[in-house]
Chains A and B, each alone.
Chain A
Amino acid sequence: MQGGAPRAAVLAVGALLALASPALAQPSPAPPTVIDGPSAAISSLGGMSVARDGTGGLVYLKTVAGLPRVFVSRLESGQFQAPQEVDGLLPAGSSEPVIAAGNGGVLLVAFVNSGVLYVVDAPGLASPSGTPDGLASGASSPSLQMNNFGKAYLAFTAVDGAGHDVRAAYYYSGAWAVEGAPLNVAPADDAGTGAGVPQVATAGDGVAIVTWGEGGHVYSRRVWGTAPSVVDEQADVPSVSGCAEVSAGEPQVAAGGDSSYADVAFQERVSCSGLQQTRVLMNRLQGSQYDGVVTTDGLSTPGTSSAEDPDVAMTEYGQGFVTSAGQSSNAVVAMELGNNGAPGTVLQINSLPASAASYPVPGVAGIFSDLIAWQQAPGTAGPAEIRIRYEPRASTLGPELVLSNPASGPTDAARGLAATGDGGGDAVVAWVQGTGASSEIVADQLYQPPAAATVSNTVAYSRSTEPVLSWTPSSSRWGPFTYTVTLDRTQLGQTGAGSLLVPVALRNGSHTWYVTTSNPAGLTAGSRIAKVFVDTVPPVLKVAESGPRRVGSQEVVRLSYHDPAPASGIAKLTIRWGDGTLTHVRPGIHRIVHTYRRAGEYKITVTVADRAGNPKTVIRGIKISKSSTPGKRG
């Protein structure tokens, strides 16, 4: 392979085909799930993360005995599990929880308690969450991300003398290691605070890109394992459209599989003739150089409108979105990203006017697919609600979908809104809904059509009129799945297992059946049509023996057999000669010869069985003589 540009184009043709089939569709939402609540104790959603294999979880703060505590709800087999408190042993209240998921049920949680940055690891589905380990003191503002290979980076701010440093830690194979040196550009700077809290993106290749604010500017630096790069890069620019930079901050960063390409989105405040404006910009890091900023918010400079809430998400190959919100318009605006995070078209995402902040967030939900979630506040027309638009592939942005249930009250994205998905195109959005005692942590999952259950393409034979029909369950990540079995065009029953006992007696003969897989969103996929052949009638068998019946002579057995209709057909024919010899006779053979080595009386046992397993056995006795006198036939 010698490759080319862009990166996605270097996929082997077969690989692309394999990944692209079946093509992703717009996913369908199931009804929202309340993870916790309603309760006045619900505080805020800290984050949500899902690995490519569909496992993951969300983390949130909930007050227990007057202290904010960190709770985690795992996502296993497509279902959120009962929340668990992970910081209960710590005496003080916790804050700033973040979460990262890896394949196989790996979950990492970080939070701050009494100024100490703690991490809690759950190395797999079968492993309970561990106890909190203190990673750094004087710490705040953690940002955590894990890649597809179980490598994670944690960026945070730590007190350094009178100021703060931006630090990072690396997780691999169950162990954490804090980077040996701060990442900030100038050791004396008060970095990573205020609008400059750090963010981290962990690329598939195991390299992280950390971005932060320092001295009113936005910087980035790569980290590889426990080694920070020797170079840093500045993302913000001295001016935008001729208007001078005032300051920059609120950086966000995303990377796909290749750490060479990382998009940093941030706010930059600029001034023109005393008129100040905040723009949301993106700068793509290519190697260790930025390409140059692009505006992503759909505004003009100089101008009176500003944008805020920059965020960015990127799939394996760099497609994704930079999102922002209009400061006064509350418009949700996104710039599409092409291969390797290349800047693309700027689009307005929401279709309706909004009376309050929209808090847009982008999320990755598949190798090529992604989504944008936001809060739509219609004002007096109704409660605030969570909406999404999903993009199965670049430039195929789907329609707006409302996920939240208005009966649960207004959504409160200010307390948390997160969007992500698995590697198969399923997506999940989580948020806080309700106020006061009606507060809930809510998640809504959006499903791709399930992969069909697999049935054998060969005929199954049964000697029972009530056969067990079996199949290989759906390979889709998120269940639970319901399998509906249809036999001879009649629905037989449903099960969540991989087999079903036919509840009625079937007539002898051939029957067709298939199984329909349904997921929680009601999406279905039918298997191929399979056949089961019921045959309760054993074969007919006649045996005749002839020969001299002497030691060393050839005894001849003549067989007459057939399988009466409805015939599954003769499958097996054996002769036990009584002397320890077993002969497997190929169906269609009717004359078999055997020679006895010792004199004596033997039982010749002939057994024939059809494909359904119905046996028919005939036994003949024979006496073999040493002398020339023929033995007796039984």
Chain B
Amino acid sequence: MIRRAVVLGALLALGMSAVARAQGPPYRASPPTKGAWYSDGQTGRYLLGGTWLYRPDTSDVGVAQAWYRNIAPTDGWTTTTIPNAYNAGDFSQASMNGYVGWYRRDFTVPAGAFASYVPKSGRQWIIRFESVNYRATVWLNGREIGTHAGAYVPWELDLTGLRAGVNRLIVRVDNRRTAADLPPGPGGQWWNYGGILREVYLRAVQTADLSQVGIQTLHACSKCDADIVEQVAVRNMTGSRQKVVLSGVYGGKPVKFGSTTLAPHGTWTAHGSVKIPHPSLWAPGHPKLYTATLTLSDSRGRRLGAYFTHSGIRTIKVVGGRLELNGRFLNLRGVNFHEQTLQTGAAMTPAQDAQLMSWVRQIGAGVIRAHYPVGPEIEEMADRDGILIWSEVPVYQVQSTYLGQPGWLAQAHAMLEDNILSNENHPSILLWSIGNELPSPATAAEARYIAGATALAKKLDPTRPVGMAVSNWPGLGCQSAWDPLDVIGDNEYFGWFDAGGGGDDDRDALSPFLDSVRACYPTKAIMITEFGFDGNRAGPVEERGTYAFQANSVAFHLNVFATKPWLSGAMYFALQDYVAFPQYSGGDPRPDPPYNQKGLVDFSGNEKPAWAAVSQIYHSTQQIAP
């Protein structure tokens, strides 16, 4: 279930400022647009695009000055569109540290959103934010309706208090992160873009909402029938009891859920299952997707809502210390990336997402990873393209002191739960990663976090392995804290970054080191989750940071990986150059802060020489056993 933001609900006094101000931009309310940027989800979605207003609040005076008031003048506001990163292009330290920005959208409720048989009392709206970085407070018509903290996962609020005519949505966004946030701040290792970074939807709900749909596909062998197990949360949006009927179809076969009488504002967790004989399995190279639909009706058979999703039947597990997809060993090659562009920051349009995934396909990557859950558009493209996703929550280089704090743990677990429940239906999700580069050697608190988060992930989704990307180096030794994990993602930068007092200075030490890792964890699947080198200039091959060095190094590392038949995969860091932080050098003696230039393509999309080396090896590597 989508984690619902807290509704504070204080009705605040309205009023016009008596102070005369410069006139703002002309602005008229407009309705949202029917439809969504991605296909899976409920019917009745409306994209809240169009023209928004933005107002910076670097001094954080907006609340005190009541910028959330329901007033028409646009003084102080400028027009923008959503998604939006309000500090895109500003690479100052102040920008990296974060500040407050306000968004406003005046809209009218679209006509024709509800069936005529739905009583007015049953006509409800939900607003869904796909990602806001970092803290958000939302007002509707001057009344606060909820808050949320944390980016990269969607969250929803009941849009109560809508009016006929103009409705005014105000969102205060604060991207000043603390060391206890996820990822930790202030600052961070990739640019701290603040704003409404992914799209916003309104959803028309006709008395009851299909608020959460989870589909698990189970099959014991490649030629066995598949069991499809579905769990659906149906939420009564009204204060009245109502009888509802839920039915589904999976791959053309009916799925029965039955009916129930929902208590006022109650939720029914419905279960259904169906057997799919001789399933056509989802796999890289054969990304077969089944269509799954759910239809909710009232007691008279009248349709209240529906949910549509694509589903892939496949099994992922660790067998004999290797990742196996549908009984076939994986030897993936892939790329890490950040969802950002130089121009728009982390606010990506579908076209920009498509460009990113186009490079992924072109280079021959079979797996992708970011330091956070990627957007739904990218996940759907991965589903269609047969590309796997290492799905990770931004539990990133968290200081040891936080790992044992109950409040921090609750936040981290909530983020993990949100990621799983939001994205579990994508066949492309390879595993759930619970973090990246927590302190090594692992502390007792870290061991408890790993054990707890792993157990939570397995409870929510027993069909996928659980992994974590780790800092590891020669001499660190075997870490018992990693025992609960199914998959260890090793971030290795031999010959580039230092770890362990110079223990990985020399890339020739990589091969024996990998063997030592395997000896430590013979039953776990091991992937290389990061390896990478800057390339930002012409120059001699032995000089770090030159294109020649980058190309030579990626080939060397990939050739070492090729000698490890037990390896389940390796992902280059990163696909494209990105903005890191103001002082970033990234191990490059000739850095160009704030840019991380380990990309195989530069900011303009130009391929660096290393691209060809990686592409050739990726395309010639058998990434999934026959």
Residues of A within 8 A of B (CB): 1-8, 10-15, 17-19, 147-149, 151, 203-207, 222-224, 227, 229-231, 256-261, 286-289, 316-317, 340, 367, 423
Contact = CB atoms under 8 A, between A and B. Distances in A.
Contact of B505 (A2, A4, A10, A149): A149
B506 A206 contact: yes
Nearest to A12: B471
Nearest to A315: B502
Nearest to A6: B585
Contacts of B501: 15, 19, 316, 367, 423
Given A1-B491, A4-B581, A222 B591 contact: no
B455 interface: no
A4 B540 contact: no
Contacts of A149: 505-506, 508-509
B521 interface: no
Contacts of A206: 495, 505-508
A257 B544 contact: no
Interface in B543-593: 543-546, 573, 580-581, 583-591, 593
B495 to A, nearest CB: 6
Contacts of A203: 505
A206 B506 CA distance: 6
Contact of A288 (B190, B440, B543, B583): B543
Contact of B439 (A3, A14, A147, A227): A14
Nearest to B590: A287
Given A148-B505, A205-B505, A205-B506, A14 B471 contact: yes
Contacts of B495: 205-206
A231 B539 contact: yes
Given A149-B509, A287-B589, A12 B439 contact: yes
B498 A258 contact: yes
B543 A287 contact: yes
A204 B589 contact: no
Contact of B497 (A10, A19, A151, A367): A10
B591 to A, nearest CB: 7
Interface in B473-513: 473, 491, 493, 495, 497-502, 505-509
Given A1-B437, A1-B493, A11-B499, A258 B506 contact: no
Contact of B544 (A1, A12, A287, A289): A287
A203 B580 CA distance: 28
Contacts of B544: 258-260, 287
B355 interface: no
Contacts of B222: none
A1 B471 CA distance: 8
A185 to B, nearest CB: 15
A4 B190 CA distance: 11
A288 B540 contact: yes
Contact of A3 (B399, B441, B507, B587): B587
5 contacts: A3-B584, A3-B585, A4-B580, A5-B593, A14-B440
A315 to B, nearest CB: 9
A14 B399 CA distance: 10
Contact of A231 (B437, B540, B580): B540
B189 interface: yes
A2 B580 contact: yes
Contact of B542 (A1, A13, A207): A207
Contacts of A286: 589-590
B120 to A, nearest CB: 53
Given A17-B439, A149-B505, A205-B495, 15 more contacts: A2-B573, A7-B585, A12-B473, A14-B439, A15-B471, A19-B501, A149-B506, A149-B508, A206-B508, A222-B543, A257-B502, A258-B505, A258-B589, A260-B544, A287-B590
A374 B237 CA distance: 84
Contacts of B326: none
B498 A10 contact: yes
B505 A257 contact: yes
B506 A2 contact: no
Contacts of A4: 189, 580-581, 583-586
B335 to A, nearest CB: 15
Contacts of A223: 542
A12 B437 contact: yes
B587 A10 contact: yes
Contacts of B584: 2-5
Nearest to A256: B502
Which residue, A12, A149, A205, has most C-beta atoms of chain B within 10 A? A12
Contacts, number: 145
Contact of A287 (B502, B530, B545): B545
Given A2-B190, A7-B587, A15 B497 contact: no
A206 B593 CA distance: 27
Contacts of B473: 12, 15
Contacts of A12: 437, 439-440, 471, 473, 499
Given A1-B437, A206-B508, A207-B542, A13 B583 contact: no
Given A205-B507, A287-B589, A367 B502 contact: yes
Contacts of A257: 498, 502, 505
A13 B443 CA distance: 12
Contacts of B509: 149
B428 interface: no
B541 interface: yes
A432 B370 CA distance: 60
B596 interface: yes
B542 A259 contact: yes
Contact of A148 (B499, B502, B588): B502
Given A13-B399, A286-B589, A151 B506 contact: yes
B589 A260 contact: yes
A222 B471 contact: no
Nearest to B581: A4
Interface string B593-611: 1001000000000000000
Contact of B506 (A13, A18, A204, A260): A204
Given A1-B530, A2-B190, A224 B541 contact: yes
A306 B471 CA distance: 49
Contacts of A261: 589
Which residue, B399, B439, B542, has most C-beta atoms of chain A within 10 A? B542
Nearest to B441: A14
Nearest to A286: B589
Nearest to A2: B189
Contacts of A259: 542, 544
Nearest to A368: B501
A256 B502 CA distance: 9
B505 A229 contact: no
Contacts of B581: 4
A116 B143 CA distance: 90
A227 B502 contact: no
Interface string B267-291: 0000000000000000000000000
Nearest to B491: A1
A222 B505 contact: no
Nearest to B443: A14
A308 B587 CA distance: 34
Contact of B502 (A1, A3, A316): A316
Contacts of A13: 397, 399-400, 439
Given A15-B473, A287-B590, A204 B502 contact: yes
A367 B530 CA distance: 26
Contacts of B585: 3-7
B25 to A, nearest CB: 39
A2 B542 contact: no
B179 to A, nearest CB: 12
Contacts of B493: 1
Contacts of B540: 222, 229-231, 288
Contacts of A15: 440, 471, 473, 499-501
3 closest Cβ pairs, A-B complex: A204-B505, A5-B585, A260-B589
A332 B124 CA distance: 83
Contacts of A367: 501-502
B543 A11 contact: no
